[in-house]
Amino acid sequence: MFLNNYHQLKIKEIYVLVLLILFSVIVRIPVILMYGDTGLEHEWALLVNNLIEHGKLVYEIFDDGFLLPNLWMPPLYAYYLYCFSFFNLGDQNYILLILSSQILLASISVAVFYKINELFFSQKLSFYSSLLFSILPLHVFASSQISSVSLQIFLMILFFYFFFQLVKKKNFSSIAFFSFLAGLSILLRGEFRIIFVISILYLFIFFKIPIKKILLILLITLVTVSPYIIRNFIIFGKITIVETAGYNLWKGNHPHALENSRVEGSEMVNENLKKLNDAIPRDKFYRINRDKLFFDQAIKNIMEKPIEYIIFSLKKAISFQFIIMDSMDPRYWNPLHYLPTLLLGITSLIGLVLSDKKSYKFNYLILIFFVIIIIFSMVSILPRYKLVILPLQIIFTNVLIERIVKRFLPQRENN
C-alpha cells in the first residue's frame, strides 16, 4: 500500500513538472516570434565575433590592432552564445536557436521553482505560484532577448534548490551540484561572489555543515572557475574574474544621475573625467586602470555629498522592490508589466514581515533578498534586473496567501 501511494505521488509530481514546463514553453513561443531579438548587439556581438574571428575572448580591438583581452563582461554567457555558432546556421536561425534554448532554460527553472516552493508550502499553492512565475511578463520577455538574465535566473533557482538539498542530505552529489552551480554563477555575474560567500557562511553557522564539507564546496567551486582565473592571471598577473565594480559604482553614483533623479544611470559628462579616461594607456591593463579610475571618482562623489547619495540609494532600493517611478522606457509602463510588479512588491513585503523568523531556511532567503537589494541600490538599475528578486517575492507573497487561507478558509467550511 505504501509503495503504491508513493508511486502514485511520484507519477503525479512528474505530471505536474512536465505540465509546468510545457505551459512555459507554449507561453514564450509567440513572444519570441513577435518581439524576439534578431541579432547580437553591443558587448555580446563584440565578444562572440572576436571569439569566432580570433579564437580569443576579446572585448575590443584598438586602432593599432591590439586585441584587448576581456575583463569587462563575465565570460559564461559569451561562451554560451559562442557554442551555438558551431551549428553553422544563418544569422536568423542562429538567434532563433539561442532564444529557443533560453525558453527551455526558463521553463525548467519554473519546474525547479515549484520544487523549492514545496519545501515551504502546499502542492496547490506551489503549483499556482509557479504558474505565476511562468507568466510574469518580465520573465516571459527575458527569454526573447539576447541577455544573460535568462541564464542567470536559471542558475540562481538551481543554486537555491541545491542549497536546500545540501542542507537536507549533506551528501556528495548535492555538494557537487551546489558547488558547480556556484562556480557557473560566478562566471556569469560578478556580484554572485558576494551571494556565494554569504551562503557558505550561512551553511557553516546556522546549518552546522562540517568544515570538511565546506572546504569541499570551496574546492569544487574553485575548480569550476579556475580555467578563467588562470587565463586572467597569465595575462594580467592578477587573480580576478571581472573588473567592473568601479565603473558600476560610478554609474550609480555620479552628479548627473543624482541631479536627474534617474536610477538607470547616464553618460559620462564630467570633462575632467573624460580627459583622464582618454589618457589611460591602451594596453592589456586598460580595463583594470579604467575601472580603478571610476572607482576613485565614485568614492569621491559619495564623500562630497554622502547624505544625498544615501537617500539616492534608498530610492533605488525602493524602486527595485516596487517599480521604477522615473523610468524613461515607454515599454516599462505597459500595465501588464508594472501592475503585477507593483502588486508583488507590496504583497511580498507583507509576507516577509509575517514569515516565520525561527526558520533558518526562510531566513536564508530573506537574507539573500536584502543582500541583492543592497547590491543593486549601489549601482544603476535597469528594468530587467528586477527579475532577480521576483522568485523570492513570489515566495514571500505565498506566506501572505497561506496566512489568509488559514484564517478565512475554516470560517467558510463552518458556514
The DSSP secondary structure of 97-113, one letter per residue, reads HHHHHHHHHHHHHHHHH
Written as one letter, the residue type at 282 is R
Q: What is the pLDDT of residue 141?
A: 94
pLDDT band at 13 (very low <50, low <70, confident <90, very high): confident
Span 227-264, pLDDT tens digits: 999 999 999 999 999 999 999 999 999 888 877 766 66
Yes or no: say if 251 and 379 are a contact pair by the CB < 8 Å rule. Answer: yes
What is the rounded distance in angstroms from the CA atom of residue 141 to the CA atom of residue 86?
A: 26
- Determine phi and psi for 322, rounding to 5 degrees: -110, -100
The whole-angstrom separation of Cα 44 and Cα 300 is 31
What pLDDT sits at residue 407?
85
pLDDT tier at 413, thresholds 50, 70, 90: very low
Q: How confident is the model over 100-143, as pLDDT tens digits?
A: 999 999 999 999 999 999 999 999 999 999 999 999 999 999 99
Nearest CA to 79 out of 181, 151, 153 is that of 151
pLDDT at 267 (0 to 100): 64
Q: Is 272 left (phi over 0), alpha (psi -120 to 50) or beta?
A: alpha
Confidence class for position 411, pLDDT limits 50, 70, 90:
low
* 24-28, 180-184, 275-279: range with lowest mean pLDDT: 275-279
Phi first, then psi, for residue 244 (nearest 5°) are -130, 0
Cα–Cα distance, 321 to 348 (Å, whole number): 9
Above 80 in pLDDT, residue 217?
yes
Q: Rounded distance, CA 355 to CA 347, Å?
A: 12
Average pLDDT over residues 334-363: 94
Grid cell, residue 210, equals 562540517
- pLDDT for 327 equals 75
Residue 311 and residue 258: Cα distance in Å, rounded?
A: 10
Please write the tens of the pLDDT for every residue from 35-53: 999 999 889 999 999 999 9
Say what the pLDDT of residue 337 is. 87
From CA 345, how far away is CA 388, in angstroms rounded? 13
Mean predicted confidence (pLDDT) in 169-180: 96
pTM for this structure?
0.94
Q: What is the pLDDT of residue 415?
A: 39
Higher-pLDDT residue of 282, 6: 282
Q: Give the count of alpha carbons within 13 A of 53, CB side only.
A: 11
Range with the lowest mean pLDDT among 193-197, 263-267, 303-307? 263-267
Residue 242 backbone dihedrals phi, psi, to 5 degrees: -140, 160
- State the DSSP code for 143: T
Of the listed ranges 198-202, 295-299, 380-384, the least confidently predicted one is 380-384
Q: What is the mean pLDDT of residues 379-384?
A: 86
DSSP string computed for 187-207: HH-TTHHHHHHHHHHHHHHTS
Distances (CA, A) of 104 to 97, 109, 140, 236: 11, 9, 12, 37
Rounded Cα–Cα distance for residues 123 and 129 (Å): 10
pLDDT score at 6: 57
Name the pLDDT band for 75 (thresholds 50, 70, 90).
very high
| SS3 at position 68 | strand
Neighbours of 333 (CB within 10 A): 11
Q: Where are the alpha helices (DSSP H) in 36-75?
A: 42-54
How high is the pLDDT of residue 264?
62
